[in-house]
Amino acid sequence: MAGALAAKRVVPLRARRDEDKEARRRELLDAARALFEATSFAQVKMADVAARTGLAKGTVFLYFPTKEALFLALLDDLLTAWFAKLNERLAQGGTWTGHQLARAVAVSLEGEETFTRLLALMQTVLEQNVTVAQTQAFKERVLGAMGTTAALLQERLPFLTPETAGQVIRHVHALMTGLRQMADIAPVAREVLTLPHMAPLRVDFTAELTAAITTLLRGLEAR
């Protein structure tokens, strides 16, 4: 009986430890996000994250062995949240036009600049200095979310097949990445682009994305 009582005491203690670990992990991710939104990935240092959370730098590395691992975890959370938001819109039912879908994607990205900025760094930066285990876990979650979204796309746009629905998602990813890089410009370039004759070089992320997705879907429907 004494052993059973001891076991009962251990379970809540372990649960609290797990909750504490997750709370600290969340705190680190929130700090990384705040610093990234105020500056850039290159400017954020792990020491800055430690200072913002009041933790020792060594403690930060216990949770995330590299800066890339920290920000890939943040992207993982943001990407999962975005897929959930988009899928909620797609689940509303009915048959849509390509433009309706393009607008739904664009609207789902409103207020998601942090997400799209990090997404633009995914292959070239964030996945370059992380473990195989973290990368696989991340890719598995992306694959699962893509499968759900692809099925919903086929419901809204009956001309899509499983193959072309997946193609749409990959192309939207490419468009989001490219247009975010074009829109996220340095202050000096932003100042130059205010000149009237520089108008053709300005990028309206939402408008350009909507137009590009609409054109993509028209091409697939015409096949």
Q: What is the pLDDT of residues 109-144, one digit of tens each?
A: 999 999 999 999 999 999 999 999 999 999 999 999
Q: Which residues contact 63 (CB under 8 A, 6 or more apart)?
A: 24, 25, 28, 70
Q: Count the Cβ atoms, other than its own, within 10 Å of residue 150.
A: 19
Domain 12-64 has CATH 1.10.10.60: yes
Residues of the chain above pLDDT 90, percent: 86
d(CA 6, CA 82): 43
Which pLDDT does position 186 carry in this prediction?
86
Q: Which CATH superfamily is domain 67-222 in?
A: Tetracycline Repressor, domain 2 (1.10.357.10)
Q: Is the pLDDT of residue 63 over 50?
A: yes
Residues of the chain above pLDDT 70, percent: 93
In the block, which residue shows the tokens 């890339």? 68
Which pLDDT does position 151 carry in this prediction?
97
Which pLDDT does position 17 carry in this prediction?
81
d(CA 32, CA 76): 13
Q: In which band, very low, low, confident or very high, does the pLDDT at 3 lie, cut at 50, 70 and 90? A: low
Question: What is the DSSP secondary structure assignment for residue 45, as one 8-state letter?
Answer: -
pLDDT tens profile 136-173: 999 999 999 999 999 999 999 999 999 999 999 999 99
Q: Which residues contact 155 (CB under 8 A, 6 or more apart)?
A: 90, 93
Question: What is the DSSP secondary structure assignment for residue 120, as one 8-state letter?
Answer: T
Q: Is the pLDDT of residue 1 over 60?
A: no
Domain residue spans of the chain: 12-64, 67-222
Mean pLDDT for the stretch of residues 68-97: 95
Mean pLDDT for the stretch of residues 27-32: 98
d(CA 87, CA 71): 24
CA angle at 176 for the pair 171 and 182, rounded to the nearest 5°: 125
d(CA 203, CA 213): 15
Q: Is the pLDDT of residue 66 over 60?
A: yes
DSSP H or E run through 53: helix 46-53
- What is this structure's pTM? 0.87
